[in-house]
């Protein structure tokens, strides 16, 4: 059976899963989304993802036309229908089809889409040896323009930085905020380790409040590691002992080089390895 995609209460074969060309999700990137993982058939932190989706939607004045409980059920049903145990789930809510004009009030029918599939974001070798990244010249959206806390369908800001990374031969790129502080990568949050302390930019640096980020902070505290959410600048990353990125798709991945500078001894460090192990254990619970 072809992969089944959920769209607003019905299932469609992958090739027939379509939305209107008048959908403002397509015309303007007007909508919100989530990327989640399932491990052994169970969605990791489903409630937290749904809460973030609802917050994103509320922030853009979009009413999701179902309850969180009903959407949770639909996510689990879609996974089961496709027989996916360890997979990736993309949840999308579009503004719906409307007129050719920005006015969201003329869109009648928000579409709720659930895609369940398999994902391997980065090759295994990069998890073992670490990533090389660059700092993009594209800064992260200013919070007062479009808050990075809103996970909207308009990801061009990140895509611009991703292109810079790819052109430099890197699969990820670091983005700074308008103050020149470290914000996050194009699809991942960033952490550094310095003298045994775990440091990461605070939410008000203008970043997505990553669910993997939260899990790592919690795991680090349980491991009695000192954790601080403090503003960081690029030189902090340059002189860090270790650096790693977190995200639902990427999970935890070491960074060993940034802007041609070697981080620590150029190998994934012990804190990164320990937190990765703890994270994998957590996903199996």
Which residues are near ligand PMP by CB under 6 A? Answer: 35, 158, 184, 187-189, 208, 210-213, 246-248
Burial class (CB in 10 A: 0-12, 13-18, 19+), 167: exposed
Q: How many CB atoms lie within 10 A of CB 137?
A: 11
Give me the helices (H) in the chain, please: 24-28, 46-59, 68-81, 124-129, 156-167, 211-222, 234-238, 270-284
* CA 130 – CA 266 distance, rounded (Å): 8
Indicate the residue among 143 and 158 with the shorter CB distance to ligand PMP: 158
Considering the complex, state which of residue 20 and residue 178 has its C-beta at the smaller distance from ligand PMP. 178
> At its nearest, how many Å lie between ligand PMP and the CB of residue 16?
27
User: Nearer to ligand PMP by C-beta: 97 or 185?
Assistant: 185
State how far the alpha carbon of 180 is from the alpha carbons of 137, 170, 177, 246, in Å: 10, 21, 5, 21
Nearer to ligand PMP, 62 or 215 (CB): 215
Tell me if residue 151 is catalytic: yes
Contacts within 8 Å (CB) and 24+ apart, 143-146: 143/204, 143/206
Q: How far is the CB of 20 from ligand PMP (least distance, A)?
A: 26
CB of 278 to ligand PMP, least distance (A): 15
CB of 182 to ligand PMP, least distance (A): 13
Active-site entry in 42, 47, 151, 267: 151
Give the catalytic positions in this structure. Answer: 151
């Amino acid at each position: 059976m072809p992969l089944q995609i959920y769209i607003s209460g019905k299932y469609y074969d992958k090739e027939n899963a379509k939305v209107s060309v008048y959908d403002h999700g397509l015309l303007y990137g007007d909508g919100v989304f989530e990327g989640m993982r399932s491990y052994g058939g169970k969605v990791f932190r489903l409630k937290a993802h749904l809460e973030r989706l609802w917050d994103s939607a509320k922030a853009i004045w979009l009413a999701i036309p179902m309850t969180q409980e009903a959407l949770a059920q639909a996510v689990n049903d879609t996974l089961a229908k496709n027989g996916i145990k360890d997979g990736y789930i993309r949840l999308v809510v579009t503004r719906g089809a409307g007129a050719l004009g920005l006015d969201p009030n003329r869109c009648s029918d928000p579409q709720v889409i659930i895609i369940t599939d398999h994902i391997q974001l980065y090759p295994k070798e990069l998890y073992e040896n670490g990533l090389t990244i660059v700092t993009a010249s594209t800064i992260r959206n200013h919070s007062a323009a479009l808050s990075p806390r809103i996970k909207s369908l308009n990801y061009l800001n990140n895509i611009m930085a991703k292109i810079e990374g790819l052109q430099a031969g890197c699969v990820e790129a670091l983005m700074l905020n308008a103050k020149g502080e470290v914000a996050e990568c194009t699809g991942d949050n960033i952490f550094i380790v310095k003298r045994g302390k775990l440091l990461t930019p605070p939410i008000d640096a203008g970043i997505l409040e990553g669910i993997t980020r939260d899990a790592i902070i919690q795991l680090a505290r349980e491991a009695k590691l000192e954790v601080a959410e403090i503003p960081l600048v690029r030189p902090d990353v340059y002189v860090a002992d270790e650096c790693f990125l977190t995200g639902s798709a990427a999970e935890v991945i070491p960074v060993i080089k940034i802007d041609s500078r070697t981080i620590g001894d150029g190998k994934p460090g012990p804190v990164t390895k320990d937190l990765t192990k703890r994270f994998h254990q957590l996903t199996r619970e």
